[in-house]
Amino acid sequence: MLKIIEVEKNSQSYKKGIRENDIIEKINGYEAVDQLDILYYSNFENIEIEIKNKGKFFLNTENLGLTVENFKIRRCNNNCIFCFVSQMPDGCRKSLYIKDDDYRLSFLYGAYITLNNMTEKDYKRIDRLNLSPLYVSVHTVDKRLRADILKSKKIINIKKKLKKLKDMNILLHTQVVLMPGINDGENLIETLDFLTGLYPAVQTVSLVPVGLTCFRDNMYSLNDYNKKEAKEVIEIAEKYQNKFLDEYKEPLVYITDEFYIKADKEFPEYKKYEIYEDGVGMYQVFKEEFDRNLNILKNKNFDKSKKIGIITSVDGKKVLERFIKKIKNYGITIELLPVVNDFFGENITVTGLLTGIDIKRKIQNIKDDYDKILIPDIVLNEENLLLDDYHKNDLIKIGKGKIEFVNSDAKSLIKKVAE
C-alpha cells in the first residue's frame, strides 16, 4: 500500500475526490508498492487507482497531481571485504554511513546493487515495470569466490541472475571492484568472458581498483594495486576492448582512470563513453572539453602579477599537469596545489574523496601569496557539504576572500581562469 502525502489542487486526482493521507492499494490492478508504480503507469494515457475505503478512480495521467511517500531504502545485508562504508571513520556526513542495496535506487539513480537480497517478486516487478537499465556489482562470476568477497549468508548464482535479467530485456551496467590476487588474473578473464558474452544486454563492464582507507582494523587484509599489477589488469581488459572496438565500435569494458595512473600509462581515447562515473572516462571527457574551449584565453590581456592556485588531489595533479602547462602558455601564473588525504589515508588519492580538514590544512600552510585559490566542486554534495561535514563556507572564510569553488568541468575552469 502507498500513502499519498500531497494532492495538487485543480489536478485530476483532487477533482475526483482523492486527498492527502489516502492509501493507494492498487494501480491498474497491481499492488501499489512505491512511487515507481506511479512513475511507470503515468506513461499511459489513463490510470486506474484503487483507494482504501474509497474504491476505484479512473484518471487521465496528464494532470495526475499526486505525490506519494518515499520508499524505505533496502539496506545491504552483505559485509564485503572491500566495503568503503565499513572503512569510514566517525565524523563524516550521516548519509555516507548508509549501506544500500536497492534495485529501485539502481534504476532511479544508477546505484550499484549485488542482487543478493532480491526476491522472485522483485524480479517479476522489474520485468513488469521494465526497470531498465540496472547497475550490478558483479566482482566475480565464481559463485564461491563471490560469496567469500561479499561475506553474505545468502549465496546466489550471479550468472543465472544476470541471464534472467537479460531474458527480461533489462539492460545492465556492471562493475567489478578488483583486488590484487583475489579476483584479477585468471578469475578476471573468467568474469569478462561471461559478461561480454551477455552483450548487448550488458552495456558496460567497469573495472575499478579497490579503495583502501587507513581505517581497516579487524577487516580482511587487502593491498592496493602497484604499477605492475595495474598494467596486468589493463592488458587483460584491452584484449576485450580491442575485440569490441573492431566489431561494435565501442570497448564495452571500461577501466577507471585510476588504473592508468597507477600503471603510468596514457589514457585511451574513445569516441564516446557509455558510462561516465566511478572515475571512468573522466580524463578523456575533460581533455575534449579543454581543447574545445582553450581559445577562450586567446586575445585576453592578463595581469601577469596575479597568481592562481588550484586545489587538487595527488592523482588530480598527475592528470591536470599537462593542461596547466597549456594555460601557462598564455602568460597566466597558475599552480596546482595537491592535497594529501590524511583523513582517509595516503592510499586514497582521488579528488572526490578530499575532506574539509585536509583542504583547510593545505590552505593554511600555503606560503605563496595567491590572488585566487580554486577548489573543484566535486568535493561537495548538493547541500555544499564535504565528506567530513565541513561546509563550503567553512573553507571560504579561512581564505580571506581568495577561495572560490568552481565546477569540475574543463570549460568552467578555463572561464574562471579568464576572469
Question: How do the domains of the chain map onto residue ranges?
Answer: 2-68, 84-280, 289-418
pLDDT on residue 305: 78
The pLDDT of residue 97 is above 60: yes
Residue 211: the pLDDT is 95
Residue 38: in which H helix or E strand, if any?
helix 35-41
Q: Which residues of 349-379 are buried (b: 16+ CB within 10 A; e: fewer)?
A: bbbbbbbbbbbbebbeeeeeebebbbbbebb
| CATH class of the 84-280 domain in this structure | alpha beta
- Say which range, 184-188, 190-194, 301-305, has the weakest mean pLDDT: 301-305
Contact 186, 149 (CB under 8 A): no
Q: What was the pLDDT predicted at 275?
A: 58
* Dist. CA 397–CA 359, nearest whole Å: 13
pLDDT confidence bin for 401, thresholds 50/70/90: confident
Contact 105, 143 (CB under 8 A): no
Q: What is the pLDDT of residues 217-257, one digit of tens each?
A: 889 999 999 999 999 999 999 999 999 999 999 999 999 99
pLDDT of residue 285: 87
Give the span between the Cα atoms of 418 and 374, in whole angstroms. Answer: 13
Mean of pLDDT values over 152-173: 96
Strand partners, 333: 307
CATH class in words for 289-418: alpha beta
pLDDT of residue 277: 60
pLDDT of residue 354: 97
Rounded to whole angstroms, the Cα distance separating 405 from 264 reads 29
Cα separation of 363 and 399, whole Å? 7
Nearest to 100 by CA among 135, 59, 62: 135
d(CA 76, CA 93): 19
Give the range among 16-25, 183-192, 293-302 with minimum mean pLDDT.
Answer: 293-302
Backbone phi and psi for residue 334, each to the nearest 5 degrees, phi listed first: -145, 135
- Supply the mean pLDDT for the chain: 94
Give the C-alpha separation, 390 to 248, whole Å: 46
pLDDT band at 155 (very low <50, low <70, confident <90, very high): confident
C-alpha cell at 56: 476505484
Predicted pLDDT of residue 276: 54
Residue 93 near residue 120 (C-beta atoms within 8 A): no
What pTM was computed for the model? 0.92
Cα–Cα distance, 168 to 20 (Å, whole number): 36
Q: What is the pLDDT of residue 272?
A: 58
Question: Residue 5 has what DSSP assignment?
Answer: E
Per-residue pLDDT of 272-328, as tens digits, reads 555 556 677 788 889 999 999 999 888 777 777 789 999 999 999 999 999 999 999
Q: 2-68: which CATH topology? A: Pdz3 Domain (2.30.42)
Asked if the model's pLDDT at residue 400 lies above 70, the reply is yes
* Amino acid found at 11: S
Q: What is the pLDDT of residue 278?
A: 63
- Non-local CB neighbours of 39 within 8 Å, separated by 6+ positions: none
Which has more pLDDT, 276 or 399?
399
Question: C-alpha angle with apex 103: 99 to 109, nearest 5 degrees?
Answer: 80
Grid coordinates standing for 7? 494532492
Q: What whole-number distance in Å separates Cα of residue 139 and Cα of residue 376?
A: 31
pLDDT (tens digit per residue) in 324-369 = 999 999 989 999 999 999 999 999 999 999 999 999 999 999 988 8
pLDDT at residue 233, rounded to an integer: 98
Of 158, 250, 164, 146, the closest CA to residue 201 belongs to 164
Q: Which of 14-23, 114-123, 304-313 bottoms out in mean pLDDT, i.e. has the lowest?
A: 304-313
What's residue 16's pLDDT?
94
Percent of the chain scoring above 90 in pLDDT: 87
State the Cα–Cα distance between residues 226 and 246, nearest whole angstrom: 30
